[in-house]
Structure 1
Amino acid sequence: MIIICQKPLKILKINGIALFPFIFIRNPEDKKNNILINHEKIHLRQQLEMLIIFFYLFYIIEYYYWLFKLKDGFQAYKRISFEREAYANEHDLNYLQKRKFWNFKKYL
């Protein structure tokens, strides 16, 4: 389910976020943005595979690892394995049909 959530996401300066089982987007017109929606659907699959709570724990640990190492929040975010998988495959709208279980491990 896609939910439009403008103000909180505007403050965070993000266009979308997947919080199982929902995808929150900032702009109503982004409901038709197949690339953004696909990116967030990849995160939903990752969350399911990691039993949701472990996804969030691993995401935070990985983010702080890279933040400590790189000293740059945006670069740390871009190095997270979950994000790397989602960005690398967001343009392939059939990716989830052929994606292997725990495929994010390739991006560690």
Structure 2
Amino acid sequence: MKGKAVISPLLTYLFSAGRADAVTVFPFIFVRTVKMTQDKVLMNHERIHLQQALELFVLPFYILYALEFLIHLLHDRNFNNAYRNISFEREAYARETDLHYLKTRKRWSFIKYYAR
């Protein structure tokens, strides 16, 4: 029996609107196209999110992620600024090109990215 593809409305929106190339929903990384799995920087960015989620026992990661996004959205009134200022995203973007980062990353490293 072949696996059945399940596409959520949120993922469809994010991918079709061009807002995201990949989305991490622990323990999975969803990509817009199969070819994107070969993008080492993109995959490293998403793996950083997996590590962040593990440190926070998964559910609290997503709660904090959403809360931080909403706080920034209310403050900035700009979707892209709100997203880019989430501490988890700040760490992932700052370190995505360091392909060895996860080997040397200290636990709770995202905390240093809270300050604006």
Structure-2-length-normalised TM-score: 0.85
1:40-87: CA deviation from partner (whole Å, max 9, x where unpaired):
000000000010000000001000100011110110000000000000
* 1:97 Cα offset (Å): 0.3
Q: 2:16 aligns with which of 11, 29, 45?
A: 11
User: Matched residues, percent identical?
Assistant: 42
Q: For the aligned residues, what is the CA RMSD?
A: 1.6
Structure with higher Rg: it is: 2
Q: Secondary structure at the match of 2:64?
A: helix
Letter in 1 for 2:15: K
Letter in 2 for 1:100: K
Aligned to 1:72: 78
Q: 1:59 aligns with which of 58, 65, 77?
A: 65
1:96-107 alignment, distance < 5 Å: 96-107=102-113
Structure-1-length-normalised TM-score: 0.91
1:18-37: CA deviation from partner (whole Å, max 9, x where unpaired):
11111110011111100000
Structure 1 Cα separation of the partners of residues 54 and 37 of structure 2: 22
Name which of structure 1's ranges 9-18 and 51-60 shifts more when overlaid on structure 2. Answer: 9-18
Q: 1:21 aligns with which of 6, 27, 35?
A: 27
Matched residues, number: 104
Higher helix share: 1
* 1:12 Cα offset (Å): 4.9
Structure 2 Cα separation of the partners of residues 12 and 21 of structure 1: 24
Q: Which runs of no fewer than 5 residues in structure 2 stay unpaired?
A: none
Q: Which runs of no fewer than 5 residues in structure 1 stay unpaired?
A: none
